[in-house]
Structure 1
Amino acid sequence: MRKNTNPIAITTSTKRSKMRSCTNSLCFFCLMKETHVPTRRAGMKHFLSELPYSDDHDHVLVLSALWHIAMAHPNDKEYPSLGVFECMGSLIQRGLKDKGWVLRDQNIYIPYYAAHVIGSYTMHKAEFAEKAVESGVIPPLMELLRGKMSWVEQRVSVRALGHLASYNSTFEALVEYQEEIVKSAMEIASSCLDLVYEKFVGSSEENREKYHRDLLTRGVGGREIEDRKAEEWASQLQCWCLHLVKCFASKGRCLNLICNNNPIFLRDLCGMWGGLSNYTSTGGVGLIRILSYNKLSRKFIAESTQIIETLCNLCRSSDDWQYLGIECLLLLLKDPQTRYKVIEIAAFYLVDLVEIRRLGNRTNINLGEAITQALLSDYNQMETQFLKNNQNLQRVLREIWVLKVERERKEKLLCEERLEEKRALVNLIKQAANELFRLGEIEAAMRKYKEALDLCPLKFRKERMVLHSNKSQCHLLLRDPDAAISDSTRALCYSNPTNSHGKSLWRRSQAYDMKGLAKESLMDCIMFVDGGMKMEGGNGMGESKRIKIPYHAARMISKQMEAAWLFAPARLKKLASSQVKKAEDSSNNSREGHGITIRTMTK
């Protein structure tokens, strides 16, 4: 058997050397050099049709080259028109059926590369996806999805199936397998992090699959690089599985399977965020959003307290997907059948967001106004039995009404002179509060900041931002993280752009840390550091200065990255299992020792 080295590590010069010494008229690399287009196309078409049925120890070099071509030129029509999809599907089938062949030479890599080539060519073009389906790639991809090889091949098969499910023209071809696809994707999404940690990240080097290590690091690098790449791939596997489920959910397919038959999956969705290694995916919240758009599945979302609380925490964070959390809650609040299941929790979070305007360029609507309208849509019916039994909810809705309706109406009648008088008075009260704070009279200072806020006109957003932020600091010192999060969130809504006030980000990060919400704390701290770096990044004349991350922020990021690590839950499970096993072994040894003592005494 040949030495099992990673084919990706073979250099271009090696391939060129092979081309110079080759005498085979149907050599893949020689055909690539052929300048006569009809000859090259005819030869390549014949080569691809024969490749799955021939035995050559250089097969993997061909697959590696095709992988590079597909990744670099996914929109090029040449290879899809010459039968690359039929070839790749047949190679996967052979690898699954012929164990002797797949374990020979370096053929173990071939199913992975073949599925990757299919996924790369179907990534952008519907016509390529249609060609792939016509070529019969779905059955072999399904075999990989079922776990006939390993999680590495599952990753690329899920990717390819997700692309096929994304186009209307090829979606129907997957309907035949829809229940199996959705069920498998949900199971993989829920279990893949534990599996990758157990089989790879958390295992010793000698227990790791050699070809997995080579694929992850392209033949170079040590354990640290392997672990980093495994985290990225595991995150992609989970997120691509969620994308596959979303493709069916968005068309109203398998909703009962997703929601009703598998409530544990809905609960697990809350923790599927992709991690820092996959920041482009919406993760579990993206699927929750799709389900929130459908009337049937929306009721299952509304019944899950854990999902609602997750969405609420997302709304009051600096996560890129903050707007998705807001959108989901608005959908639930606007539906009469889900409104009263959600508002009891959501109102206490959304009240802090009524002064938000826009989140970047993602939406053209005034989010604060949309939230206000959704919360106050039945305010005039507060005498209903539901609201009579919810005094705290009445208080929150009353606060929103006073802030967004009564105060705005009154302040519109004030002249500029009167508004400036109020501004001056607010500044005096704030200075008094600052002095009390300096003297350590924290509760008194907090009352003064509140007094200033009650007087400060809503149009003075900067002043209100500072007052809320200072009030948040008081709550932190009084060890009240919930109130600190509330005030710092309100301050960040007033900042321009939203979520850009450094002190408020740092204070909310600390408050989330007190509550043990590592991801939210981490996101705020990263935004705090990022804002500081932008402010100190240069002098505007092309000169940059050395940036120093504050020690307290660096320590917070390190702490929260450890807690929010993608494999943190899997590591805890493995540690708990190990401790249980040790306890059982210790108990068994103790019983055996006790038995020996009794037998000795009775002799």
Structure 2
Amino acid sequence: MDEPNPIPRRKKLAKCFKEIPFVDDKKHVLVLSSLWNLAMNQPNDPEFPSFGIFKCMSNFILKGINHKDWLLKDQNIYIPYYAAHIIGSYAMNKPKFARKAANSGVIPPLLELLRGKMSWVEQRVAVRALGHLASHSQSFKELIDYEEEIVGLSMKMASNCLKVVYDNFVRKRATERLNYQCDLLTRGVGGLEFENRKAEEWASQLQCWSISLLDCFVKRERCIDLISSNQTNFLKDLSGMWGGLVNKKSPCGIGLIRSLCHTKSGRVSIASSKEVILSLCNTARSSDDWQYMAIESLLLVLKDPNTRYKVLDHAVFYLKDLVEISSIKGRKKVGEMATQVLLQDYGKIKCGQLRLSEEVERVLEEIWDVKVERKKREKLMGEEEIRERKYLATQMKKEGNKLFWGGNIEGGLLKYTKALDLCPLKYRKERIVLYSNRAQCYLLLKKPENVISDTTRALCLSSKGNKLHSKSLWRRSQAYDMIGLAKESLMDCLLFIQCNKISKSKGRKPFNKARLISKQICATWLFAAIDSNS
């Protein structure tokens, strides 16, 4: 590295990378640690990939797997981890580096780590490296010979990795944990609590990267039947994989579900799983960062005539609350798209050519009335009539408020409903308040599904402005809590806090929010289900 002349420097690098895996030296772990730092910080630098670093790292991994005496000597147990991480870092951005890595024979040793020949720590970096190789078209071709095994192992890992990490690390006492794993997790900083936090983060990454690797195969329409087979229950598991608060940047399960929905056979499998459809419906109607992915997935399944009527009975009752949403994170006309898909065969229903369940037809008629008929009627009204209807709606709301505060919750609910029927569609702010007020009535009457429906409508209407209706977020969070949807409750509660600083709240409200957040964080802890069954 200190050689200033580039020609001898290159020769020395090439010789070094060729020879060092076959020479015993206590300093090897320091060398690989340094190479790992360089690869992480300068992944696009062509020097090391050009002179044999991939073959060198492959040999180190194989040596660690095949020679246990060497692996357990000195600090060599760290070396396979660093080697796989170096391969993944250099394969991350540059297709030519990834192709060179694949041609240098990195796939078989990475597969050995993926098979669990060492531990979950090495599996994590192996799946990361294979995921980067799979993301580039040329290097992906080199994976096809191993595709069924890679896909099978990745599915198994995504489903089981949380239990593996919990059983093999988190639940163990400090004295039982492998020292090298603790060192890799913490870099020598922090104690037991910090180790546990990092283990949760790494477990989430292991799951997310496994799903990302599977996503590469699905996007190239490979092994779709294996991934989406209802015999394996993988889709059911997938719908519950959300990455947690420690890995917010990854769409995790919802990303792979959306990719499957872009394929014909994937849509058929998704439509056949009630658990997956309900999970998509709940995410579509939540504050989840990946809300749009869930909506898009449902619309793809609903557009396909082979799957539409398998899911319509479920999806229509959730998507109906989204038809007035204007945009989601910059994506325009989301409500219009949902309306168009839901009503695509409404004409056949009206003329008797198509029969659906009475409830579904009623909901479709409600959507048609709000999005088509009512708009037409209000366009034909004069300004005076519009103002009069707004005035009557306001009076009805006041009567509802009076009944509500007087303890007549059901009476207030009826008044808010009549006010919503009267209030012209263009008065969004007024309708937001009416929906939210009615939701509060439903909340006190212990009707959480109605609360979620009305608050979602209020939030859809408020999405056109710069600020979501915070009261609706808080009410929906409580409703989600009532039906046991901890993730959705947590997302709403966190967004509520973001919209309204707690310091401005009065009385018991800050405590209520903090208590609910604490409850849902515990419930959504990645290892919560495993811990409760232990």
- Cα distance, 1:222 vs. partner? 0.6
Match runs of 1:155-170 below 5 Å: 155-170=124-139
- State the Cα deviation string for residues 224-247 of structure 1 (Å, max 9, x = none): 000000000000001111111111
Q: Does the CA contact (< 8 Å) of 1:360 and 1:497 recur in 2?
A: no
- Cα distance, 1:41 vs. partner? 2.7
Q: Does the CA contact (< 8 Å) of 1:216 and 1:230 recur in 2?
A: yes
- Cα distance, 1:33 vs. partner? 3.0
Q: Does 1:303 align with 2:272?
A: yes
Give 1:322's aligned residue: 291
CA distance in 1, matches of 2:100, 2:124: 22
Q: Match of 2:500, SS?
A: helix
Q: Match of 1:550, SS?
A: helix
Match runs of 1:144-155 below 5 Å: 144-155=113-124
Alignment match of 1:45 (pick from 14, 17, 27): 14
- Cα distance, 1:283 vs. partner? 0.9
Give 1:556's aligned residue: 516
- State the Cα deviation string for residues 462-497 of structure 1 (Å, max 9, x = none): 111111011100000001101000000000000135
- Cα distance, 1:40 vs. partner? 2.7
Cα RMSD (Å): 1.8
- State the Cα deviation string for residues 174-209 of structure 1 (Å, max 9, x = none): 000000000000001110101111111112112211
Give 1:508's aligned residue: 476
Give 2:221's aligned residue: 252
- Cα distance, 1:549 vs. partner? 8.6
CA distance in 2, matches of 1:206, 1:180: 35
- Cα distance, 1:296 vs. partner? 1.3
CA distance in 1, matches of 2:464, 2:200: 33
Q: Does the CA contact (< 8 Å) of 1:239 and 1:274 recur in 2?
A: yes
- Cα distance, 1:535 vs. partner? 10
Give 2:532's aligned residue: 572
Alignment match of 1:335 (pick from 297, 301, 304): 304
CA distance in 2, matches of 1:431, 1:474: 14
Give 1:196's aligned residue: 165
CA distance in 2, matches of 1:326, 1:46: 55
Question: In terms of mean alpha carbon deviation, does 413-422 or 402-411 score higher?
Answer: 413-422
What fraction of aligned residue pairs are identical, expressed as a percent? 56
Give 2:345's aligned residue: 378
Give 2:245's aligned residue: 276
Structure 1 unpaired stretches of 5+: 1-31, 538-547, 575-603
Q: Match of 2:246, SS?
A: helix
Distance 1:384 1:148, change over 3 A: farther
For 1:489, the aligned partner's letter is T
Q: Match of 1:277, SS?
A: coil
- Cα distance, 1:387 vs. partner? 6.2
CA distance in 2, matches of 1:126, 1:180: 23
Q: Does 1:109 align with 2:81?
A: no
Give 1:74's aligned residue: 43
- Cα distance, 1:427 vs. partner? 1.6
Give 1:20's aligned residue: none
- Cα distance, 1:388 vs. partner? 4.2
- Cα distance, 1:554 vs. partner? 0.9
Distance 1:497 1:53, change over 3 A: farther
Alignment match of 2:315 (pick from 346, 365, 384): 346
Alignment match of 2:386 (pick from 389, 397, 419): 419
Give 2:362's aligned residue: 395
Alignment match of 1:221 (pick from 175, 179, 190): 190
Q: Does the CA contact (< 8 Å) of 2:325 and 2:464 recur in 1?
A: no
Q: Does the CA contact (< 8 Å) of 1:387 and 1:394 recur in 2?
A: no
CA distance in 1, matches of 2:90, 2:236: 35
Q: Does 1:358 align with 2:327?
A: yes
CA distance in 2, matches of 1:202, 1:462: 51
Query: Could you say which structure has the larger radius of gyration?
Result: 1
Distance 1:261 1:410, change over 3 A: closer
- State the Cα deviation string for residues 151-172 of structure 1 (Å, max 9, x = none): 0000000000001111111111
Give 1:435's aligned residue: 402
- Cα distance, 1:443 vs. partner? 0.6
Give 1:593's aligned residue: none
Give 1:524's aligned residue: 492
TM-score, normalized by length of structure 1? 0.86
- Cα distance, 1:249 vs. partner? 1.2
Distance 1:156 1:497, change over 3 A: farther
- Cα distance, 1:384 vs. partner? 8.7
Q: Does the CA contact (< 8 Å) of 2:230 and 2:269 recur in 1?
A: no
- Cα distance, 1:314 vs. partner? 0.4
Q: Match of 1:239, SS?
A: helix
For 1:360, the aligned partner's letter is K
- Cα distance, 1:91 vs. partner? 0.6
Distance 1:549 1:511, change over 3 A: closer
- Cα distance, 1:423 vs. partner? 2.1
Q: Does 1:294 align with 2:263?
A: yes
Q: Match of 2:307, SS?
A: helix
Q: Does the CA contact (< 8 Å) of 2:65 and 2:117 recur in 1?
A: yes
CA distance in 2, matches of 1:187, 1:83: 33
Q: Match of 2:158, SS?
A: helix
- State the Cα deviation string for residues 19-69 of structure 1 (Å, max 9, x = none): xxxxxxxxxxxxx33333333332222222111011100100000000100
Aligned length: 531
- Cα distance, 1:360 vs. partner? 1.5
CA distance in 2, matches of 1:65, 1:310: 44
Q: Match of 2:142, SS?
A: helix
Q: Does the CA contact (< 8 Å) of 1:449 and 1:470 recur in 2?
A: yes
TM-score, normalized by length of structure 2? 0.96
Q: Does the CA contact (< 8 Å) of 1:529 and 1:549 recur in 2?
A: no
Match runs of 1:20-59 below 5 Å: 32-59=1-28
Structure 2 unpaired stretches of 5+: none
- Cα distance, 1:532 vs. partner? 1.1
CA distance in 2, matches of 1:560, 1:460: 35
- Cα distance, 1:81 vs. partner? 1.1
Distance 1:258 1:355, change over 3 A: same
Distance 1:535 1:458, change over 3 A: farther
CA distance in 2, matches of 1:386, 1:550: 55
CA distance in 1, matches of 2:91, 2:230: 32
- Cα distance, 1:419 vs. partner? 2.4
Distance 1:147 1:384, change over 3 A: farther
Alignment match of 1:230 (pick from 177, 199, 214): 199
Give 2:425's aligned residue: 458
- Cα distance, 1:82 vs. partner? 1.8
Q: Does the CA contact (< 8 Å) of 1:273 and 1:284 recur in 2?
A: yes
For 2:367, the aligned partner's letter is I
Give 2:416's aligned residue: 449
Question: In terms of mean alpha carbon deviation, does 277-286 or 262-271 score higher?
Answer: 262-271
CA distance in 2, matches of 1:389, 1:349: 17
For 1:76, the aligned partner's letter is D
